[in-house]
Amino acid sequence: MGLPGKNTRLFHGTPLIGRSVLAAKNSAAVQEVYVSSDAADILNVAESFGAVAITRPAEISDSTASSESAIIHALREVEKTGFLPDIVVFLQCTSPFTTSEQIDELVARMISENADSAFSVIEDHGFLWEVAEDGSTRGITHDHTRPRQRRQDMAPRYRENGAIYAMRVKPFLETRSRFCGKSILVPTNMPPIEIDTAEDWIFAELFATASEEKRFVLPAVKLKAVVTDFDGVHTDDKVSVNQSGEEFVKCSRADGMGIEMLRDRGLHLLILSREQNPVVRARRQAENGCSTPYSRQAASAR
């Protein structure tokens, strides 16, 4: 069973579609990023990460429609603006570990080898079998009638991982196939995970956590400032009151590194507090150890 809403669901803090958009926008080989969908929520999320939205017609949006038909429609929509790229890169957000470097490597390989198309693969050392017409089994990737081969003795084999495809636009439009003309495979070092089911999602999350994958902390958009409240953001949202009526708050250091990373990126950081309270300024200075753009202003934050 599939996983409804997976494209906009948060994966390690970033929507699945947002991860693909970020990977593409940070790729040196990609000039512009487009997302095609018939779902408004997907397009809205994609736009928030800097992609150009293309609304896909209903007739090529059902489960029987090919990915090629969506790419061709998108290219024709882009062409209406007076621009048609020489190469189109097709990413599937169900492969959540795609990186900008992998996109660049695949496109560079395609160009250097004078190929018309390229696609990402992973090495596969599995022993595949099939059932013959008489009901017996026989090996596909190995000769089962001979002594069992060691994995390292087998000829290298590769499995399409569904993450990255690149095609020269002219032969792609002529053949309507992502494997147009001279097609090459590009081995890519990424986990063999495509998210289609709830189980796939759990497995991908566990892998990301175990490998301590770096999260996307900032979307690839022109973000200039981050504004937060003080209570409940930098504190546990609780207040202690002593017998004299004095209030005390407990501050959290959990986001100290995140604040420092934002500051180092050149963002303006601002705390909006409803109250004129010196604890806000004191905490700001304590968190950063120095005077920084991270400051307070008396205003309503709610």
Q: Is residue 282 part of a domain?
A: yes
pLDDT at 192 over 70: yes
Residues 173 and 79 in one domain: yes
Provide the pLDDT confidence category of residue 187 given band limits of 50, 70 and 90.
Answer: very high
The Cα–Cα gap between 34 and 89 comes to 10
One domain for residues 192 and 277: no
Q: pLDDT at position 229, please?
A: 75
| Segment holding 270, helix H or strand E | strand 268-273
For residue 271, the SS3 value is strand
pLDDT for 39 beyond 90: yes
Burial (Cβ within 10 Å: 0-12, 13-18, ≥19) of residue 144: exposed
- Tell me what pLDDT residue 293 has: 38
d(C-alpha 274, C-alpha 300), whole Å: 5
Q: Which domain holds residue 236?
A: 225-298
- Both 205 and 113 in one domain: the answer is yes
Is residue 250 domain-shared with residue 289, that is, in the same domain?
yes
Q: Exposed, middle or buried, 266 (CB in 10 Å: 0-12/13-18/19+)? A: exposed
The pLDDT-based confidence of 260 (bands split at 50, 70, 90) is: low
Output the domain CATH number for residue 10: 3.90.550.10
CA distance 119 to 184: 7
DSSP label of 15:
E
Q: Is residue 50 part of a domain?
A: yes
Under 8 Å between Cβ of 187 and 122: yes
Say if 204 falls within a structural domain.
yes
Q: Per the structure block, which two tokens stand in for 123?
A: 């090495």
Domain endpoint, select from 210, 236, 265: 210
pLDDT band at 118 (very low <50, low <70, confident <90, very high): very high
Is pLDDT of 45 > 80? yes
Own/partner long-range contacts of 231-235 (Cβ < 8 Å, ≥24 apart): 231/273, 234/271, 234/283, 234/287
Percent of residues, the chain, with pLDDT higher than 70: 80
The pTM of this model reads 0.70
Are residues 194 and 233 both part of a single domain?
Answer: no
* Residue 218 confidence (pLDDT) above 50: no
Rounded-to-5 percentages of helix, strand, coil across the chain? 30, 25, 45
Residues 165 and 20 in one domain: yes
Which residues lie closer than 8 Å to 11 by C-beta, 6 or more apart?
19, 96, 195, 201, 204, 205, 208
Domain identity same for 250 and 155? no
Q: pLDDT-based confidence at 301, cuts 50/70/90?
A: very low
| pLDDT band per the 50, 70, 90 thresholds, residue 257 | low
Q: Which residues contact 272 (CB under 8 A, 6 or more apart)?
A: 227, 228, 229, 230, 296, 297, 299, 300, 301
The string of pLDDT tens digits covering residues 267-297 is 777 777 666 666 666 666 655 543 333 333 3
Q: What are phi and psi of 119, to 5 degrees?
A: -150, 150
Domain count, the chain: 2
